[in-house]
Structure 1
């Protein structure tokens, strides 16, 4: 493509709309770079791995549990750890998560955490791992990446 040296000007027009140098670098090249990175990620990680990571984010204590989603956490336990949580435990997990969601943001020790490993240590040190034993169990499983070999849809 031919571009003029003046910023914001074009010496070429495609179908009536000018393309500026700034637009080319800020939009066209940026979009191409993002597309390339997405293709690279897709080739390295399968759908199941991406779903696992997406659902795992729901446990994150970052930004005072901003991404905490009870339904996603229950889906994580059900889909990726069906052998580790029986039906009764999955039912109880939901209630533990509801209490946890109300309880944890109130405790100053848990407000500045940003990783699951920090959360795991904090639960153990505070004794809350006994109160929220199913959540603690799920966090341990996620941290060790023990994923069931059961096939998923």
Structure 2
């Protein structure tokens, strides 16, 4: 007898259920959305792994990533939907009627309070929420004042005979972050 418990074997109904889920329009839609968002944010993940990445470039990358996610949120709904529909058509996955009424879960539509379309569900409840959560995560991890402090801090770097020394940045650093510690 093995000391490790073995997982139960899937029966045919379980396998069919899993197959139906992974070949659903919603599953394909979410995978495409994740791929697109990860493609947008991947550069920042890669850069954060390089110790040689300088602070200015990293902060620029954060700002660029935020702008790209915002642009994706504003401009890429229709291209995303078209790509998902093309993919579903190519692999014989049922394409949903976006103008049909959306019903959540397995319950009956008459018990649902809101009368929304399937397109509204995918666009607002999934697409927009995921884009907004990515933007919120970037904002939480990289607050503007912290980014500004990190961008200005190389002005105090003594390496290479203070080659990064910029009096304007030092004045800005003192005025913005340490106003009570310095006099005119």
The normalised TM-score by structure 1 is 0.32
Q: Of the two, which has the highest radius of gyration? A: 2
The answer to which structure, 1 or 2, has the higher relative contact order (CA under 8 A, 6+ apart) is 2
The normalised TM-score by structure 2 is 0.27
